[in-house]
Amino acid sequence: MNRRAAVGSDHQLSDPAARPPRPKAVRVVIWSALILLLALVILLVWHLMGAKKAAPAAKKITVTSATSTKGNIGVYLDAIGTVTPVYTASITSQVTGLVIAVHYTEGQRVERGDLLVDIDPRPFRATLLQAQGALERDENVLAQAEMDVERYRIAWARRAIAKQILDDQEKVVLQDKGTVKNDRGMVDFDQVQLDFCHITAPIAGRVGLRLVDPGNVVQSAGTVTLAVITQLEPITVVFTIPEDSIAQVQAGMRKNASLTVDAFDRTAQTKIASGKLLTLDNQIDTTTGTVKGRSLFDNEDDALFPNQFVNTRLLVNTLQGVTLLPSSAIQQNGQASFAYVIQNNVVQMRSIKPGVTEGGLTQVEGVNPGEVVATSSFDKLQDKAAVNVLNKPVAASPTASSTP
């Protein structure tokens, strides 16, 4: 009764109950769209979850590794040295004469006193004979003068002669003694000249190339070298070290009676011989700021040759019980050094402080002995990266060093 009737466009009243119902097809379309949208959402979620499951895990980086160790390593000073014989003899003639024989062969090993060259001794033998004759004559003159002075003493004691006669005779004896001494000097000189005709080796060593042949005339004041002998065993190496390292070397010499010196070839790769430091020079070269050192080598195998240039390594100290890493495991980032430490197949970039390097090993601070470090694939590594260790970690063996 109270419900208002609707007024149509034609101003006629209409009953709401008389409206036409909504079509059923519209509802079907709406519900179908909703179901389709829900299916699309479910399909998208399922696709994303499946893609996530199907995505491959991050590929691990393959590296090689080494284990840090605790050991000893040497502190060395590197320098360029020259092999210098202890003795070198350039033999020249002390007399003028004809070379009649050469007794050595080129490259021969000789001992001290071995005969090398003979010079014609006949003129010197004749001169010696003359000097010996003069000495014999003057010795007899002296003996006669001494007999006379004894007679004069007896006569003067009996007042048979004047004192002046006795004094004069005593002076004659002194003059004859001087003459005899002069003759003996001439004999000794001529004997030395005769000995110079037989030239012998003053030292043991190796003779170089032959420099004179029989038939040549040599001069006593000439510059012709008859032979050169160089001592090879032992032999020395002279090298230079910076003046700033003198205190370090002297401290090592005080702690140890002799410091080890190794000689390497020009490439500094092959060790030729090992010796001992003899001494340092007594002054610094102001033009270079260096001081010379001399080391002694046994050279029993003749590996070192006179005037040969070598690279020397002087051991001045040995660090005991330090951490050693392969030098290949140390990386540089500007002025900082670091290494990749492997723990549970994950690398950790760790800052280190490198020190002495020897034989492919480096003394470091910042890594503990026994820790494993990466030694390859540095272009791919970064902090917290997963790795696959290709080899069994190899310990950095201190025996690789030449440190005693």
Domain CATH number, residue 163 = 2.40.50.100
Alpha-carbon dihedral sign for residues 103, 104, 105, 109 = positive
Q: Are 70 and 97 part of one and the same domain?
A: no
246 lies in the same domain as 383: yes
pTM exceeds 0.75 for this model:
no
In-domain check, residue 20: no
107 and 73, same domain (yes or no):
no
Q: Would you call 106 helix, strand, or coil by DSSP?
A: coil
For residue 48, tell me if it sits in a domain: no
In a domain, 275, yes or no: yes
Residue 125 in tokens: 């033998």
* Among 177, 210, 229, residue at a domain's last position: 229
| SS3 of residue 334 by DSSP | coil
Pairing of strands 260-264, 309-326: antiparallel
Sequential DSSP letters for 118-177: EE--HHHHHHHHHHHHHHHHHHHHHHHHHHHHHHHHHHHHTT-S-HHHHHHHHHHHHHHH
pLDDT in tens, 381-401: 888 888 888 876 666 665 444
Query: With contact defined as beta carbons under 8 Å apart, do 308 and 82 qualify?
Result: yes
The answer to whether the beta carbons of residues 212 and 226 sit under 8 Å apart is: yes
Same domain for 104 and 82?
Answer: no
Nearest to 264 by CA among 199, 210, 313: 313
Read off the pLDDT of residues 277-326 as tens digits, 9 standing for 90 and up. 999 999 999 999 999 999 999 999 999 999 999 999 999 888 888 999 99
| pLDDT digits 0-9 by tens, 169-209 | 999 999 999 999 999 999 999 999 999 999 999 999 999 99
Tell me whether residue 166 is in a domain. Answer: yes
Are residues 276 and 134 part of one domain?
A: no
- What is the pLDDT confidence band of residue 44, given thresholds at 50, 70 and 90? confident
359 and 298 inside one domain: yes
Mark which of 229, 264, 297 sits at the end of a domain: 229
Sign of CA dihedral 136, 139, 145, 149: negative
Residue 261: its H or E element: strand 260-264
pLDDT at 57 > cutoff 70: no
The model's pLDDT over 80-133, given as tens digits with 9 standing for 90+, comes to 999 999 999 999 999 999 999 999 999 999 999 999 999 999 999 999 999 999
> Is residue 64 domain-shared with residue 115, that is, in the same domain?
no
Say yes or no: 259 and 371 in one domain. Answer: yes
Range of the structural domain that residue 132 is part of = 92-229
154 pLDDT more than 80: yes
Backbone angles phi, psi at 396, to 5 degrees: -75, 100
- Looking at residue 74, its pLDDT comes to 86
Tell me whether residue 22 is in a domain: no
Asked, for residue 51, whether it belongs to a domain, the answer is no
C-alpha distances in Å from residue 241, one per residue of 131, 148, 227 = 58, 76, 35
Residues 256 and 131 in one domain: no
Radius of gyration of the chain measured on its C-alpha atoms: 52
Pairing of strands 336-343, 225-230: unpaired
Which whole number is the average pLDDT over 344-357? 89
- 319 with 213, same domain: the answer is no
Residue 278 lies in a domain: yes
Summarize pLDDT for 233-281 with one digit per residue, the tens. Answer: 999 999 999 999 899 898 888 887 689 999 999 988 899 999 999 999 9
For 208, residues 6+ apart whose C-beta sits below 8 A from its C-beta are 106, 107, 227, 228, 229, 230
Q: Is residue 2 part of a domain?
A: no
Is the four-CA dihedral 270, 273, 274, 279 of positive or negative sign?
A: negative
Domain tally, the chain: 2
Q: What is the mean pLDDT of residues 321-339?
A: 89
Q: Which CATH number do you get for residue 285?
A: 2.40.30.170
Residue 5: what pLDDT? 47
79 and 216 assigned to the same domain:
no
User: Given 229, 248, 270, which residue is the final one in a domain?
Assistant: 229
Decide if pLDDT at 13 tops 90: no
d(CA 115, CA 95): 16
65: nearest Cα among 338, 341, 333: 341
Please work out, in degrees rounded to the nearest 5, the angle formed at the alpha carbon of residue 72 by the alpha carbons of 66 and 73. 85
Q: Are 282 and 229 in contact (CB under 8 A)?
A: no
- Angle at the Cα of 177 (from 171 to 178), degrees rounded to 5? 95
Same domain, 82 and 96: no
Q: What is the pLDDT of residue 397?
A: 61
What secondary structure does DSSP assign to 170-196, as a single string? HHHHHHHHHHHHHHHHHHHHHHHHHHT
